[in-house]
Structure 1
């Protein structure tokens, strides 16, 4: 439903067509990351002959830093200029990424491609998150985030498998990256022609928002400080999101290499790399909705501890079956955390500064990619691949315990007036 031709109505049912369209767009966004997951670590070793893990992980670091910073600006710009222009800009920047990866004569080109990919992901993924939160209102926020993240990370997994199969049959370049080029062109077309602006929905919700967490006139600096440090639920979500993506960034760079040390073929490595985001993606269809029913805090705590257990099993495993189970467990724990953290931020932030709060949260969360590259790369260089994974497991346990101690429950359990159907 367009906000320009009639009065908007909050709720999933009232906005189902636009919601489903944004789900499809977010799947294409996730696929842009999936094209790299299986192939780039192997490309680094086999074509560019990189041996130091720290240097190899520079592309993950570049992606994480640029995506984190862009998340912040995406939230600010979507409040100022509207959601759709930001989404369009993100898709325009996606088009050069697969071309740079195909033609890269040196590793520096790969790093440059990941700088662009980070900007693309920050602009597009952040904006689709905000747009879905705008549409559904407060009652189904967890469900909306579950569908959003399931689409994105399900596409990461499917594309990682497809890229691995193409690499096994046709080589590491160019075939796997032609998938990403197709995704970028389709995403740009869908956004330009069919996606509608949703900022009016946030303005409507603001009229009915309670006073508890209002502060509608907060400055950008005040929103940053609240979300990062001073507000217990928002800051707890920010640190847990950072650690969650530390694990994903580490897995992106090191898991394929660890699996390859056993002589495992590329197509089986592709399956193992894909299981983590596949379970993560599919399970979010349930976990997001369950957090609407059971609450956010305990789901997040349990999810972080489940991730730590999965990492411990990966660090001790040495065959396909063990790693398959461990990556599935890691994905399940991540599914409990990912949509729930976004829903918690949406619970607490006022609709008029929610996009900026989501941007700050995603800034910290996606700084985890860079943190994973640094922690994983340095630890692996000094003490080996398995030590790096053990370090991530320990950090994840600490994060889960911090949520248990500091975060309060953010989902409204009491019956309140149903403003989502206004």
Structure 2
């Protein structure tokens, strides 16, 4: 990281200290989600006695809608005010979340806590993504996103296991949610005292773009939204694949614990199954992010969506711990192929001066997948049962992979040409 009068330099090695710090911060961001994953569906059934899968999934719906919307504004605010103020705001909003979950006297409190959690995730995760892209420059985006997402989802997995252990030994409340409270306090302190602003690195990369493309014109927010959502083939393909990917994650968050519990599995084993998906996803992203820098983006994304479809099919047809364990690992592998690579696509195509806003639009649609998963999964489960809901998600994942194969072009810059 640049200090004093030293000119900023792009690259992972040149900014290793700040990059590593941001990886650690994003692990704390992921842990805020992990505290809930194995616990809230069981809390809904055992303490609040909820019936109806769609109603139970209101907390996932609330989380998805607020996170998706906040992602959009996080990108715009990061360009306008800087990255660090947005990161700090996200951590301040995180502080009451675990306290609300601990003290919730009704399900409405849980839903409100997840509204705040969605805002926290939208502000903090989006900003750490943009800051890492700022620091590393164009050549190592896939690797950078691999580290970012590995830290976040690795922490989801570890925290899910810890929360399951605490719940089994100390009850569903308050012990599991004390993890989240500690994460929020540490995340706020580290971000305030140690993290530095990175917007100047985006400006540095933009200066090189101007030299190569002197007639460059800044698009409006509306134009960026339309390009990322509909008109630009790679950006819009990434947005739909991201949405479907998180549809699967949202469905797994809300329904998988109930499906596993229906076979009589104890809470610790359910916690292990729930953790396997993000654990494989998190760890493998370091490899898949780096591979996308070497092999390209498109084929990894296509293969990842098709792998997710196969894994969901196995989950729908399995009836025991071993089958679900292998299927969860496969689902994590498929997601790892997709997650950092989609972010790298956005970084490849979007100009540095509007990249944060493009990331915000992409994450708007991607994290809208949580809400889509809650609605699609809840309706399908209420109409046809839990396994039918998983089959529906498998079919949607298959269609998404085929759409990427047909519409997306390869975006990774070749070493012998400048990035445009």
* TM-score higher than 0.5: yes
Q: Which runs of 4+ in 1 moved over 6 A?
A: none
- Contact 2:98/2:180 (<8 A) preserved: yes
CA–CA distance in structure 1, aligned partners of residues 339 and 363 of structure 2: 11
CA–CA distance in structure 1, aligned partners of residues 91 and 146 of structure 2: 23
Gaps in structure 1 of 5+ consecutive residues = none
CA–CA distance in structure 2, aligned partners of residues 209 and 328 of structure 1: 41
Query: Partner residue of 2:101?
Result: 101
CA–CA distance in structure 2, aligned partners of residues 330 and 131 of structure 1: 28
Question: Displacement of 1:209 after TM fit?
Answer: 2.2
CA–CA distance in structure 2, aligned partners of residues 300 and 264 of structure 1: 33
Q: TM-score, normalization: structure 1? A: 0.98
Question: Displacement of 1:207 after TM fit?
Answer: 1.1
2:176 pairs with 1:176: yes
Q: Residue 27 of structure 2 aligns to a residue in which SS?
A: helix
Q: TM-score, normalization: structure 2? A: 0.98
For the aligned residue pairs, the C-alpha RMSD in angstroms reads 1.4
Question: Displacement of 1:208 after TM fit?
Answer: 1.1
Query: Partner residue of 1:144?
Result: 144
Query: Partner residue of 1:28?
Result: 28
Question: Displacement of 1:349 after TM fit?
Answer: 0.1
CA–CA distance in structure 2, aligned partners of residues 418 and 218 of structure 1: 18
Q: Residue 13 of structure 1 aligns to a residue in which SS?
A: coil
Gaps in structure 2 of 5+ consecutive residues = none
Question: Displacement of 1:97 after TM fit?
Answer: 0.1
Question: Displacement of 1:2 after TM fit?
Answer: 4.2
Q: 1:235-384 alignment to 2 at 5 Å?
A: 235-384=236-385
Deviates more, 1:28-37 or 1:205-214: 205-214
Q: 1:179-198 alignment to 2 at 5 Å?
A: 179-198=179-198
Deviates more, 1:150-159 or 1:409-418: 409-418
Task: Write out per-residue CA displacement over residues 192-244 of structure 1, whole angstroms, 9 at most, x where no aligned residue.
Answer: 00000000000000011276798551110000000000000000000000000
Task: Write out per-residue CA displacement over residues 65-120 of structure 1, whole angstroms, 9 at most, x where no aligned residue.
Answer: 00000000000000000000000000000000000000000000000000000000
Question: Displacement of 1:4 after TM fit?
Answer: 6.5
Q: Residue 392 of structure 2 aligns to a residue in which SS?
A: helix
- Contact 2:413/2:419 (<8 A) preserved: no
- Contact 1:214/1:349 (<8 A) preserved: no
Task: Write out per-residue CA displacement over residues 33-89 of structure 1, whole angstroms, 9 at most, x where no aligned residue.
Answer: 000000000000000000210000000000000000000000000000000000000
Cα gap change, 1:214 to 1:16, in 2 (>3 Å):
farther
Question: Displacement of 1:415 after TM fit?
Answer: 1.3
CA–CA distance in structure 1, aligned partners of residues 108 and 382 of structure 2: 21
Deviates more, 1:164-173 or 1:409-418: 409-418
